[in-house]
Structure 1
Amino acid sequence: MFSKTDTPAPTPRPTSPNAAKSVLGSDLVITGDVTSTGSVEIHGQLDGNLNARGLVIGNEGVVNGTVSAETLEVKGKLDGRVSTENLTLRASAVVQADITYAATSIESGAVIQGRFTLAKKA
């Protein structure tokens, strides 16, 4: 008469290096914090903190806040604090930030103001 039905377990969010990529369009303005287990590409504006596996700030992208990402590529504007393993600043980048990094690449033409700190190896 009564039987136990098994409900399927919820699908876990991807945490692999191939996790999803989220793109924030140029017409999008977000005020608040963003967290992703994958990568995020910003062409609009983020006023808040971001924590993701990877971050690309597009040519028209603007980020104001604290960023924590394994990889970070900046083509647009970044203002705040950054903690990253691999930092790439393209020629079009305009950065005003305190940055903690393990490896960096800076193209000629990038505008930078702030403090760079090499991360201590564990």
Structure 2
Amino acid sequence: MSLVGVIVSHSIVLFDYIEERHIAGDDFENELIDVAILRLHPVLITVFATALALFPLALHGGPLWKPLCYAQIGGLLIATVVTKLHVPVMYAIFFLGLKILEWGIVEEPTPSQPSSLPNHQPYVSASHPE
């Protein structure tokens, strides 16, 4: 479960960073390469720090901890490589290959546009009537 949590969080951060670059108006192909390279350093630091922290327990732990730590270390290293390659490729497949999703210009709502909420009124506290 801990491997799944770490890898999913890395994927979510990668997707979030891709969306931030999309909102900024970057080109799709260049952005996927840039995002993968820019997020590589923080992900590798996290993974290697976790793997180094598990080595003493893997070397001197009991019969339960040794195989568990080796599985965690190996899983982190392999899953990180697979995830860093897999996520941008799958993102490109959904946008370019299958065209399920569309890469377009994101328009920010302007303050002059009316609210989409019906009967939008400011909140007035009962204890402080205006």
The TM-score range, normalised by the shorter chain, is under 0.3
TM-score by length of 2: 0.18
**Which structure is higher in RCO with an 8 Å CA cutoff and minimum separation 6?**
2
Higher helix share: 2
Q: Which has the higher strand share?
A: 1
